Structure formats: C-alpha cells, structure tokens
Structure 1
Amino acid sequence: MQASPVLVSSDDLYLFNTGQLFRAYRTFGAHPIVFEGSFGVRFVLWAPRAQEVAVIGDFNDWNVTDRSVKLAQIGTTGVWVGFGPGLSEGVHYKYEIVNANGKRQLKSDPFGFQSELRPNTASVVTNLDCYEWQDSEWLDDRSNHPPYEKPMLIYEVHLGSWRMDEPEQFRDYEQLSQELVDYVCSMGYTHIEILPLTEHPLDRSWGYQATGYYAATSRYGPPVGLKKLVDRCHSRGIGVLLDWVCGHFCKDDHGLRLFDGTPLYESSDFRRAEKPLWGTLAFDFSKPQVQSFLLSNALFWMDVYHIDGLRVDAVASMIDLNFDKPESMRALNRFGGTEDVDALQFLRKLNETVFLYYPESLMMAEDSSSYPAVTSPTYLGGLGFNYKWNMGWMNDMLRYMEIDPAERSSHHSLITFSLHYAFSENYVLPLSHDEVVHGKRSMLNKMPGSYQEKFSNLRLFYGYWMTHPGKKLLFMGGEFGQFDEWKDYTGLDWALLQYPLHDSMSRYVGELNKLYLENEALWELDHKQSGFEWIDVNNSAQCMLSFQRNGKSSEYSIVTVCNFSRDTHPIYRIGVSQPGVYRLLLNSDESDYGGSGFELSSTAHTNNVPLHGKPYSIELSVPALSIQIWKFDTA
C-alpha cells in the first residue's frame, strides 16, 4: 500500500524538521482517520536512514505480507507515512524497519499512545480524544492564580508501591483516583507528584528509563484511567505534577536506540551519547527533530492529560558534558567549555514553549548543580524554570539531623547556611524518594538516638522544614515514619499505623500541614528576603535557632523556636517585634504527637526587654528535641 503525501501537510514536515512542531503527536504515530472514503489508521514515522518501513501487528499475524501496511518516505524529509484501511482502535502493532545496514528490526512507535503490558512491547492504536473532562473550574482558577504566593505541599508518590496487596498486584488508575486522592486530601496536601508514567520495560527503574514517551504506562490500566485520576484530583483541589525524563532513554531494542540503524535520537559521538552511570543514552538536543519530539511531549501531558506541571529530572546531568563520566569520555563544547550548550538551549526553549501555551504551569528543575539563574527568565539569561529543587538545603539538613545531638553544636552552619542563598532562586525543599533508597535509610531511621528520640528528631526536622522558606515536597511513607527504606516491590508499611508513635507521627504531619496552609506568613513571601528574618541564629552552643516568617501583613508573623539538643530549657528568652500576646500554634513535644508532654503555657506575654535586635522579648519553656511555632495574637 503506497502512501499519499497528502496524509501529512508540508507545513508539519517543515516545522518538525526545524524543531518547531510543538504538537508533533497530532501528526506522528498512529491515528484513526477517514482517508479517501475509507476508515483506517494513518501511520507517520521519522526514520531518515531506513531503507524500508512496514507496519505489522496482530492484524496480519506479525508477518510482512500483502496485508502489511507499507510506508513510503516523503521526498527527502526523513518522514515515512502510510495508511491501513480497515484498521481501528485496539490494533497492536510495531514498525518493521529495514535499517541503514540492511538489517530488519522491530520497533515500538516513538509516538505510540499506549503500549502492551510488559514484558510485551507492541504499541496499541488508541484514541485519546474520547474523554469528557469535568475540571474546567480548576483550570480557570489555575489560570487566574499563579503559584508563587500560594501554599504548596507536594506528596511525591510511586503509584505502583503506594499500596500493594501482593507483589505486582498494582492498584489501577481508577482505584487510585479514589483511595490516593481521598488520602492526599485528608492529609492536607495541595499537589501530588507522580514518578514517571512514560512506558518503561523494567518496574524497578521506576519509570526513569523509558521507551514510550507518549504512552502512559499500562501497568495501572488504560489511558482513560489516568485521565480519571487527574480529573478527580482537580475536582478535589489537588494539582498533579509528573516527573519527566528528557535527559536520557534506555537501550532496549524495541525503543529509540539506533532507531533506523544509526544514532537518531542519540548523538553519533559516543562520548556525548553514553550515560555510563545509568547505562542509558542521552538525547541529542542539537537535532531539531529531537527537539520537536521532546517539546511536543511536554505539551502532550498538559494537552491530553491536563497535567499541571513537570518536574524535569536530572538537569545537572544534562547540562554537564562530563557528568559522572570517566576520563576517557571527557569532551569539550565548541567553545572549549564543559557545559552542554545544546542542552542549555533546549531547556530554555522547553520553558519558553511550555509557558507560551500554559503560562500558569509549574516547571521544576531537579538540579544538583550550582548553575546560576535556573529560575530566572530566559530573556535575562536564565533557564526559565519557575522552581528549582533545593538539593543543597536537603543535603545539609539530612547531614545535620543524622549527627548525634551531643555533637551538633560544632555543625551549626549546616542548618543556617541555606539562608545565604534561599532567595537566589524559587525553591522547593525536597524530601524525595532518592533519599530513602539504596541504603540511605528512611527519614525516621536516619534520625539518631533511641527509638523515642528518632521520632522527636523527625518531628523537629519536619517542623523546621515546614517553616523554612520554600515550597515543600515529601515522599510517600515519610508522613507516618516508615521505618524501613522504600521498597519499590511492595507496598508501604501501612500496618505501622497500629503502633502509637507512627500513628502519632501521621497526625502530627497532618496538623503541621494544616498549620502551614492556614498561615500566610509561611508561604506568601517564600521567594523574598522580607519574608524571613532571624531572631537568634548564633546560639550554636545550645543548638538553638529562632526566626520569624512574615507575610504581606505584619499582623500575621510567625515565630519559630527550634531546640536541636537533648537539653530542656525551662526558661528561655527570645526577642520579638510586636508588644502583646503570642499564642502557641504547635508544640512538637505534645504527648498527643508522641512527645514527652512537658507542660507549656499556650500564651506568652511580651516584656519591655529588648533582645536579639528586637524591641521586646518573651519567655518560654523549650523541651529537648522540639520545635515550637508561635503567632502574635491580634485579638
């Protein structure tokens, strides 16, 4: 069956080959259409060095026969097109390619909208336009209220292991749209962030090594189920973020590697193509067709699945040519430096494109590098993200919290250094999945001391995290003190909630989340220096910290007092800005949260005693390993 070029417009071909076809998924892949009076499926593929291309599948017993769909290349565009009359949604298919070396190979569709359940790897013809969304109110509100001056509590989740009754017995998207969404709402989170949902062959890659960039993984059911999950999140006021991996892809034969027998999606220079740390291949960002593929994919998740934003994975590895590479693979860019200039240009173009169509979206960089201006606009030389994960804060704080309290006084700078740069970017403070796997231990088990002290330290740490400038992200299980590190092949240890300290931790996190949401001072000026001021930053000897968070109105300021030592201070004085009465909002040492129950007054009256550069002061009692959060009482 020879293809007719009119199946694809010349404008689309031009834009694709110049890196400007931002909805390439509408052209490429498998689409049910009516062509010349016949209903069937149009197939469009980029494979410039292929000698022959045909579509085979369950409709012809997976053999190249007269019933195959033969594709024809359109001129010198590198694009192949064909039409299969009589084919329809649900057909399983692959491309059989006679590659540049004359070898026959079977490939899944790079633009396939659905894949078979692993270990099978065929693509499935799927119509994604048949769902009636009910989230118009959410989308309107999202457009009118930018995120910067709003609270953001992100619950990071791996759908497969959030709840699992038996190994590989995953909850499907529709089940999760009830159970997960109800749980997230009950805990007070504003967003969920889902580990990658692009189709991937190996469960234990967690989706970070993908083959099907346009296919929501079939592990959890058909695409319509994911739409229902997102729709229900929106109906309950929950935003949905997706981990997105545009830096590299896996080498499985049916995927993108050597797609037409030559390096197509990857660079022909092995030093640039290989990612030895992960055993994957980097995308070649210099190719305009690869740009069209990836830029379209970013918009695809927002267009088709109403995703509210993307967390872009491994930015540091993208922008450094020599990231974790041996000396033999070191390379320089065309200017003699080690930055990947093409990757930097791609990231800028990515953010410009996304914000052109979705100005209210969230674009977050998971970036461990010190590259500047990640969240500055591209017209000012920045990368154009609107948020960056604060990996420095996370590393410093976890290092500090793992130190025995008796030794913390000499490491005081670890908990204060972040305020030197806290407003240089728009930050998210991540306590993510990466910190609770591969022998790093769970958040609870990182904490030093006795069993009881581990919980005290974790409550203290979470309180400091919640009152520190920056949006918040917590990986699932951290909210109830999962004791073992994350086991991706089983469900979370929900049975721990029958034990008092774990149940108390869950209630504490819920109360902490609620307190955060209800107090503008904890998020309204997150990205401005005026939103934070130290009260006493220098008390390293007693491992004490106190500071004030400010909102737009000084009436709503919050005062936080942290004791990172084992010593209780029955009398402890700090300076405050306003005269009157301060009301205790939260004490992590309350017996209801699993604390000692050391009796505290719920109010503190100011004295005309200047302290810490403030005109007034209040006298408090501060239990060991605890945090207190106070608010000026305007009543």
Structure 2
Amino acid sequence: MLTVENERQLSPNDVDLYLFHEGTLFEGYKVFGAHYEHVDNEDGFRFTVWAPNARSVSVVGDFNDWDAGKHKMKPVKQSGVWTSFIEGIGVEERYKFAIETASGSVVLKSDPYAFYAETRPNTASLTCRIDGYKWHDSKWMRQRDKKDEYHRPMVIYECHLGSWKKKEDGKLLTYRELADELVDYAFENGFTHIELMPIMEHPYDRSWGYQITGYFAPTSRFGSPQDFMYFVDTCHKRGIGVILDWTPAHFCRDTHGLGKFDGTPLYEPCDPKLADRPQWGTYNFDFSKNEVVSFLISNARYWMDVYHVEGFRIDAVSSMIYLNHNNDLPFDLKNKYGGYENLEAIDFIKKLNEAVFIEFPSALMIAEEATDFPMVSKPTDAGGLGFNYKWNMGWVHDILRYMSLEPSERRYHHNLITFSMLYAYSENFILSFSHDELVYGKRSLLNKMPGDEWQRFASLRVLYGFFMTHPGKKLLFMGSEFAQFDEWKDLEQLDWKLLDFPMHHAFHDYAVAFNHFYQETSCLWRLDHEEEGFEWIDADNSNQSIISFIRKGKRKGDYCVIVCNFTPNVYHHFKLGVPASGPYLEMFNSDAETFGGTGQCNRKSVESIDEPFHNHPYCVETTIPPLGISILMKETKKRKTMKAYDQV
C-alpha cells in the first residue's frame, strides 16, 4: 500500500526513470503527481510531471496567485520529467501545471496523476493525501485471494451513481450516502458485485465518465477519495465486490486534460489520422509510447492497490485492437504489415493483464469486445489477450432480437436462442444486459417485449430466467430488476415509484428471488465455463418455441432440468427426458401468481416414468407455463421447503 511511512524517495530516481521510459513503471502513482513529503523539517508537496517537449514547467495555484514565475520545476536528467518540492502547501490546495510550449505559449494543465480534483465545472487538481483511511476489509481481502471466481456465482449490478437515486432536491447522493443505500440494496437483491460506470474524474456529466481528464481521481461529484474508500470498504463488509468501468482506449480533448499536454501530441499519437476518434470527439492513446503504457498500467494497479477494487470492465476493447473499429475516418488505417489490427494496442493489452495478474491474481479483467477476435479471455502464454472474462455480446444481440418478435414468429427464428451454445465455451463469458442496450432509443428490456401488459411482463420473466440459467456469469443494468418502463434517463433517477404498481413490484420480487435461488443452486454456476456443465434435452422444438436443457454441477446428482417456453401456450402432460429416476420437484416457476403470472405451476412432485425419451433413460410429464420457465430438481426433504416462489 502507498503510505508516507514507506520512507522512499518520491522524486524520480534513476530506476524510476528507466522503468518509466521502458514502459514498466507499474507503480508510477508513487512517483508522479503531487505527494506529501517532510523535507528539511518542512512539510509540503513534491510535484512531478512528464512534459518532454516543454521549454519550462511551473506549479501554479492559489498558494502563489497562479504566478508561473514563482515555483519553477527542475528537469530531471534530460528525461522529459520535471519535479519540485514546495514547502508549506496543505491538503486540498488547488494547482495546475503551467507549461511553456516550444512556441513560447503557456498552457495550464491539470495533473495527469492527480489523486483529487475540483468539482466540475472547475478543473484544477487538488493536493491530497490518500494514506490516512483506516480500512475494515482485511477479512475480505484475505478471502478474495483464495476465491476461484470461475466456479462461483456472479451476478453484477451495473450502476451509474449519478442517476441511481437522487436526493429530494435533485442533488447527487455522496459516496457515503450511496454506501448506506446502494450497498444494502445490492446485497438484499442478491447481487454479488457492483459495477460502476466510470467514476474517474470527467468534465461532462453526459459522457457518463467515459471521457476522462483525471484517471487517478475518483470524481469529486460524490465526495473525496476517502469517501470513495468508505464506499468500497462498505461493499466489502457486506460481501459485495466492486468493479470499475475503465477507459484506456481514448480520452477527452478538453484543454486542461491530456490532449497536446506539452504543446505537442504526447499521450495521443503524433499522426492525426491515428490520434483522432471522430465518432466520440476524443483522442486515442498512443500505445507505441512506453511512457503512456507506464501511465495506463500504473492507473489500473493504482485502483486495485489504493482503493481495493476487484477489477475492471475495460471499455471499447474492439476499438483498441482494430484500427478502424468505430472509426468514422473516410479511409482505412493499416498496420505496418498491411493488416487492420492495432499491433501496439494488442501488445499493451497483453502487458496490462500480465502486470495486473502478477500483483493481483484474483483480479477481474473483463473485456467489452464486440468482434470474434480469438482467445480474448485466454492467458497470454497460451496466445490469448490475457483477460479472464469477456462480455457475450453475440448472445445479447440474438436473444433481444428473438424476444422482440411476436411469439407466433419466434418458431421461424429458433436458432437465435440455440446458436450461442456453439461458442459458449470459446471464452469465459459474462452475459450482459448493460446500459448499452437501454439507451439511445433502444428502449428498456420491458419495452422491447411485444404484446399486452401481461405478455410483456411474462416475456420479460422468461427472458430473465433464460439469462440466469444460460452458461456464463451475469450482469444487469440498474432498474432492470424492477422492469424499468422507460429506457435509461441519465439526468434523472430511476423510476422508483414503479414499485408501487403491482406488476413492477411482482417482477422485482421475481428478480430478487431468482438472484438468491441462483446463488444457492451450485449447478447454475459451478461449471459455467466447462462443457460438461451443460446438456441439451431438446434444442430443436421450434414448432412450440420451447427449449429444454440440463445445468450440471461438480458433484454427481447435482443438476437441474430447465424448460423455457417462449409462447403464451400452456402445455399439460408435457413429456421431457430426464437423466435419473425418482420424483422431481419444481423449484422455480416464473408463472407463479406471486410473480404476476397465471399460476400454471407444478405444485406436487413429478414422478419419473421408466421410458427413454430425448436420449435419456427416463422421462417426466409436467406442466409447462405460458411464456415461462420451469426448473425441476430431484426431490429431497430440504428442497420440499425451498420452492423459490413460495418464499416471497
């Protein structure tokens, strides 16, 4: 951990400089930026910045009336790095770097490594000490390193802090207030992790944090760095992991940020064709510069070291590995071999993952990657990119397209719900109903469903059930757990009043019950990434738009039989192959009245029939609910009292 008691010289030494220019200074946050020091019996802050093409650099702030002539920084051995110690500066002092460019003009820049920043619309960096917080998550941290996330349940709650909930006067909740409300809510609703849309400092609310100016500063919109530590600490005390959205692909062009930092393209490529990202109005990072690689990898390790987060969902990976992905330039970019891959970005990604996992073996490194680039979630020594998870965006696209069809049309598009199993084990997948699917006119999950109110809610229940039982970990965007009616409105809080309406309340009960049932049912997650964890019973029943399959756990006999019906027809005495004889108990049924359904449930156990069917030695006859999912498990005394729809 970073503390002043480390007794290390914070100004760059020869080793620091060598590693920085080599692209291997993975703890650059201990060297660059503004650090408290006690020098010659004087307290103050040492400032260090990389600006290789500057004529001169000064630290300016309220403490010197923003006069660039008062605190000039010294160049360090012609390394392009500048440093200075200023005595008498306290915490939360505003500062910037005044950089004299080669042309003689002076630009004011925020500190790229600042730990804290002014609240927008102000743009100065703030001096800060991040070593004083007393953590209470030592037990969590010890256990985290022993956890095998691949074989554990994972239901992630994706959240935008600015619009999850607001105060009565419309102001934002603070990190500490969110710790009191959001963390309990996530725990009680059966989520294992909270994923935060980027909380790194950013100037524009409606960029949602994806266009960053302060990569090392938790946004001051919600409080101080210590307040954010409290939020993470509270999550850990409640058994909730924290994942941050992270954007190493590009950064915003605001004049106080990284763009043309020393008067020249520094963090971005020198070639404008490679630097510009027209679609987003941003600059790409230049992964060919070792100093940029050191900056970004240091940033990833910083959040895990200083703030104890579990890992990252890395945004826009496809835009990193392909030169022309999401690029509106009127021509194609090519690498030195004539291909379309960004070779430097691919090398960076591999190096990033290696550097993170060597220090944090239990880290979650999740790629939002939308193409069929191979081996994204495979180790680098096996030829992969080194992530340990990838969003399954193909499954999300297919299932949402399928569910938007009228039930009578679904029989003609049956492959949309079965195709995913042809590639389900090619990567370690997370199924993600994220914010990307619920904005810009795409409508909420509920509003994607066709039909009247009952059909839409029933379709949403079977969709959620298929989502929770399909192989792969899970991610759900906030509000979807109570069937938010409108698509996400980033300037407003979620429509919490919908919980006053019976159908929304019932759906919320359903989602919460399913989340808890999922966590308690090991066969739904124990072998998520191994082929022996899944077996089709019948994948070909397109005429009735019904699929049936088995999810298996590690232990013999640990399995459940799952049937999904994507039409409003009810089927009694529906014959279904099962692997073993004996009574089967329906443990979950989305059509239970308590969930807003019609009550077409199997209240009594279903006895197997000694007759081969569906390539299984036995079969059962069961009721299949309309637009519903039914989950059967072998009956035991314990399970008789555990029916999920009887627990609400």
TM-score (norm 1): 0.98
Q: CA deviation at 1:6?
A: 8.9
Instruction: Name 2:628's counterpart in structure 1.
Output: 626
**For 1:327 and 1:105, how far apart are their aligned partners in 2?**
29
For 1:27, the aligned partner's letter is V
The worse-fitting range, judged by mean Cα deviation, of 465-474 and 141-150 is: 141-150
For 1:45, the aligned partner's letter is V
Q: CA deviation at 1:80?
A: 0.5
Among 565, 568, 571, the residue aligned to 1:569: 571
For 1:498, the aligned partner's letter is D
In the alignment, does 2:23 pair up with 1:14?
Answer: no
Instruction: Name 1:108's counterpart in structure 2.
Output: 110
Q: CA deviation at 1:602?
A: 3.3
For 2:478, the aligned partner's letter is M
What is the correspondence of 1:62-101 to structure 2 with a 5 Å cutoff? Answer: 62-65=66-69, 68-101=70-103
**For 1:261 and 1:589, how far apart are their aligned partners in 2?**
63
Query: Contact conserved, 1:167 with 1:489, CA < 8 A, in 2?
Result: no
Instruction: Name 1:319's counterpart in structure 2.
Output: 321
Among 378, 392, 396, the residue aligned to 1:394: 396
Query: Contact conserved, 1:312 with 1:363, CA < 8 A, in 2?
Result: yes
Q: CA deviation at 1:37?
A: 3.1
**For 1:587 and 1:597, how far apart are their aligned partners in 2?**
9
Q: CA deviation at 1:604?
A: 0.9
Q: CA deviation at 1:269?
A: 1.2
Q: Given the superposition, is the C-alpha separation of residues 591 and 171 from structure 1 closer, same or farther in structure 2, using an over 3 Å criterion?
A: same
Query: Contact conserved, 1:89 with 1:125, CA < 8 A, in 2?
Result: yes
Instruction: Name 2:298's counterpart in structure 1.
Output: 296
Instruction: Name 1:484's counterpart in structure 2.
Output: 486
For 2:474, the aligned partner's letter is K
Query: Contact conserved, 2:51 with 2:261, CA < 8 A, in 1?
Result: yes
The superposition leaves residues 478-533 of structure 1 with CA deviations (integer Å, 9 ceiling, x where unpaired) of 00000000011010000000000000011000110111011110000000000000
SS at match of 2:629: strand
Q: CA deviation at 1:394?
A: 0.5
**For 1:614 and 1:504, how far apart are their aligned partners in 2?**
36
What is the correspondence of 1:339-350 to structure 2 with a 5 Å cutoff? Answer: 339-350=341-352
Q: CA deviation at 1:328?
A: 3.2
Instruction: Name 2:193's counterpart in structure 1.
Output: 191
SS at match of 1:560: strand
The superposition leaves residues 199-254 of structure 1 with CA deviations (integer Å, 9 ceiling, x where unpaired) of 00000111000000001000001111110010011011110000010000000000
Q: Given the superposition, is the C-alpha separation of residues 428 and 453 from structure 1 closer, same or farther in structure 2, using an over 3 Å criterion?
A: same
The superposition leaves residues 43-67 of structure 1 with CA deviations (integer Å, 9 ceiling, x where unpaired) of 10000000111111111222334xx
TM-score (norm 2): 0.96
The superposition leaves residues 287-317 of structure 1 with CA deviations (integer Å, 9 ceiling, x where unpaired) of 0000000000000000110000111111001
Instruction: Name 2:53's counterpart in structure 1.
Output: 49
SS at match of 2:632: strand
**For 1:263 and 1:187, how far apart are their aligned partners in 2?**
47
Q: CA deviation at 1:601?
A: 3.2
For 1:605, the aligned partner's letter is E
Instruction: Name 1:278's counterpart in structure 2.
Output: 280
Q: Given the superposition, is the C-alpha separation of residues 541 and 156 from structure 1 closer, same or farther in structure 2, using an over 3 Å criterion?
A: same
In the alignment, does 2:472 pair up with 1:470?
Answer: yes
Instruction: Name 1:424's counterpart in structure 2.
Output: 426
In the alignment, does 2:361 pair up with 1:359?
Answer: yes
SS at match of 2:59: strand
In the alignment, does 2:599 pair up with 1:611?
Answer: no
**For 2:310 and 2:376, how far apart are their aligned partners in 1?**
20
In the alignment, does 2:14 pair up with 1:28?
Answer: no
In the alignment, does 2:513 pair up with 1:518?
Answer: no
For 1:163, the aligned partner's letter is K
Query: Contact conserved, 1:152 with 1:190, CA < 8 A, in 2?
Result: yes
Listed as ranges, the gaps of 5+ residues in structure 1 are none
Instruction: Name 1:60's counterpart in structure 2.
Output: 64
What is the correspondence of 1:211-222 to structure 2 with a 5 Å cutoff? Answer: 211-222=213-224
The superposition leaves residues 355-408 of structure 1 with CA deviations (integer Å, 9 ceiling, x where unpaired) of 000001111001001100011110111001110000000100111011110100
Among 106, 117, 132, the residue aligned to 2:134: 132
Listed as ranges, the gaps of 5+ residues in structure 2 are 1-8, 638-648
SS at match of 1:516: helix
**For 2:27 and 2:602, how far apart are their aligned partners in 1?**
60
Query: Contact conserved, 2:11 with 2:31, CA < 8 A, in 1?
Result: no
**For 1:329 and 1:115, how far apart are their aligned partners in 2?**
39
The superposition leaves residues 233-286 of structure 1 with CA deviations (integer Å, 9 ceiling, x where unpaired) of 101111000001000000000000000011000001112111111111110001
For 1:374, the aligned partner's letter is V
For 1:386, the aligned partner's letter is N
Q: CA deviation at 1:626?
A: 0.6
**For 1:363 and 1:7, how far apart are their aligned partners in 2?**
31
For 1:330, the aligned partner's letter is D
Query: Contact conserved, 2:589 with 2:601, CA < 8 A, in 1?
Result: no
For 1:280, the aligned partner's letter is T
Query: Contact conserved, 2:370 with 2:393, CA < 8 A, in 1?
Result: yes
The worse-fitting range, judged by mean Cα deviation, of 608-617 and 322-331 is: 322-331
**For 1:51 and 1:334, how far apart are their aligned partners in 2?**
33
SS at match of 1:393: helix
Q: CA deviation at 1:166?
A: 5.4
Query: Contact conserved, 2:446 with 2:457, CA < 8 A, in 1?
Result: yes
**For 1:624 and 1:304, how far apart are their aligned partners in 2?**
50
Query: Contact conserved, 1:555 with 1:634, CA < 8 A, in 2?
Result: no
In the alignment, does 2:344 pair up with 1:332?
Answer: no
Query: Contact conserved, 1:271 with 1:329, CA < 8 A, in 2?
Result: no
Instruction: Name 1:534's counterpart in structure 2.
Output: 536
Query: Contact conserved, 1:166 with 1:490, CA < 8 A, in 2?
Result: no
Q: CA deviation at 1:168?
A: 5.5
Query: Contact conserved, 2:116 with 2:218, CA < 8 A, in 1?
Result: yes
Query: Contact conserved, 1:520 with 1:551, CA < 8 A, in 2?
Result: yes
The superposition leaves residues 316-363 of structure 1 with CA deviations (integer Å, 9 ceiling, x where unpaired) of 010000113345342111111100000000000000000000001111
The superposition leaves residues 553-600 of structure 1 with CA deviations (integer Å, 9 ceiling, x where unpaired) of 132201100110121112211100010011111110111000112353
Q: CA deviation at 1:100?
A: 2.2
The worse-fitting range, judged by mean Cα deviation, of 590-599 and 189-198 is: 590-599
Query: Contact conserved, 1:50 with 1:97, CA < 8 A, in 2?
Result: yes
Q: CA deviation at 1:70?
A: 0.8
Q: CA deviation at 1:623?
A: 2.2
**For 1:251 and 1:98, how far apart are their aligned partners in 2?**
19
SS at match of 1:343: helix
Instruction: Name 1:37's counterpart in structure 2.
Output: 41
Instruction: Name 2:162's counterpart in structure 1.
Output: 160
The superposition leaves residues 131-163 of structure 1 with CA deviations (integer Å, 9 ceiling, x where unpaired) of 011111001111111201100010000111110
Instruction: Name 1:583's counterpart in structure 2.
Output: 585
**For 1:443 and 1:258, how far apart are their aligned partners in 2?**
42
Query: Contact conserved, 2:10 with 2:31, CA < 8 A, in 1?
Result: no
**For 1:407 and 1:634, how far apart are their aligned partners in 2?**
40
Instruction: Name 2:3's counterpart in structure 1.
Output: none
The worse-fitting range, judged by mean Cα deviation, of 140-149 and 287-296 is: 140-149
**For 1:241 and 1:167, how far apart are their aligned partners in 2?**
29
Instruction: Tell me the matched-pair count.
Output: 629
Q: Given the superposition, is the C-alpha separation of residues 555 and 634 from structure 1 closer, same or farther in structure 2, using an over 3 Å criterion?
A: farther
Query: Contact conserved, 2:425 with 2:530, CA < 8 A, in 1?
Result: yes
The superposition leaves residues 13-38 of structure 1 with CA deviations (integer Å, 9 ceiling, x where unpaired) of 11111101100011000111022332
Q: CA deviation at 1:167?
A: 7.4
**For 2:58 and 2:184, how far apart are their aligned partners in 1?**
46
